[in-house]
Amino acid sequence: MLKIVVLVSGGGTNLQAIIDGVQEGTIRNTQIAAVISNNKSAFALERARLAGIQGEAVSPGDFASREEFNSALLKRVNCYEADLIVLAGFLVKIPEAMIDAYENRIINIHPSLIPSFCGVGYYGIKVHEAALARGVKISGATVHFVDQGTDTGPIIMQKAVEVLPDDTPKQLQQRIMEQAEWILLPQVIDAIAAGRVSVVDGHAVVSGS
């Protein structure tokens, strides 16, 4: 059984896709041990509560320094002895110590086809604004392992989504969530739970289906 901890900051629609996937059996052999938010009022915590999953907030504002917050966050994550940490719209920079402790055991979903529109400053709606400003015809989502860089870790799976001529950033964001993110993230977790994902020479390899 793959034990996961999901880190969130906001609405939690990706979290919901994971909860639904586990309940409906599209994500097999997986248990959501806890949901941790940096934001006490994140609706994602309500989603966890409604699903009967342990939820908690670890907020930077409750600590005297970033270092104290980072070590508290790592301590809370460690408590659950998770096999995998899933960043599902988590807007906090992951502490280096956590990345070292969970090498190739942290995944993130990014709402573009990496390496386009990723890296420092590309988060939330800004990603879609940049894609539209560049005039791309295809965008999408990427699930990747987290390394010490920003969106630079091994790419596990990607899914393309069409950009339509009159798209607003919000419309594109919504289409990418519906047609890519909510499908891709559960697929990757299921593949990891089945032991089908490995990292070879810095590249993620997904075997079978």
Catalytic amino acids?
Answer: 110
Residue with tokens 């075997």: 207
Binders in 121-180 for ligand GRF, by CB under 6 A: 177
Stretch that binds ligand GRF, among 72-80, 103-111, 132-140, 190-198 (CB under 6 A): 103-111
Please choose, out of 104-112, 144-152, 163-171, 198-206, the segment that lies near ligand GRF by the rule CB under 6 A.
Answer: 104-112
Q: Which is nearer to ligand GRF, 110 or 175 (CB)?
A: 110
CB of 64 to ligand GRF, least distance (A): 28
**CA–CA distance, 52 with 129 (Å, rounded to integer):** 36
What would the x/- binding string for ligand GRF be over residues 16 to 35, using CB under 6 A? Answer: --------------------
Best CA proximity match to 161, nearest among 140, 189, 136, 131: 140
Identify the residue among 21, 95, 111, 153 touching ligand GRF (CB under 6 A).
Answer: 111
Q: Contact with ligand GRF (CB under 6 A): which of 55, 98, 172, 181?
A: 181
- Indicate which single residue of 2, 6, 13, 47 sits in contact with ligand GRF (rule: CB under 6 A): 13
Residue 14 interacts with ligand GRF (CB under 6 A)? yes
Shortest CB 28 distance to ligand GRF, Å: 22
Q: Which is nearer to ligand GRF, 188 or 209 (CB)?
A: 188
CB of 127 to ligand GRF, least distance (A): 8
109 lies in the site for ligand GRF, by CB under 6 A: yes
User: Which residue has tokens 């320094």?
Assistant: 65
Q: What is the 3-state secondary structure (H, E, C) of 195-207?
A: CCEEEECCEEEEC
Q: What DSSP string runs through the chain?
A: -EEEEEEE-S--HHHHHHHHHHHHTSS-SEEEEEEEESSTT-HHHHHHHHTT--EEE--GGGSSSHHHHHHHHHHHHHHTT-SEEEESS--SPPPHHHHHHTTT-EEEEESS-TTTT-STT--THHHHHHHHHHT-SEEEEEEEE--SSSS-SPEEEEEEEEPPTT--HHHHHHHHIIIIIHHHHHHHHHHHHTT-EEEETTEEEE---
Q: Residue from 10, 21, 55, 154 that binds ligand GRF (CB under 6 A)?
A: 10
Q: Which residues bind ligand GRF (CB under 6 A)?
A: 8, 10-15, 44, 88-89, 109-111, 177, 181
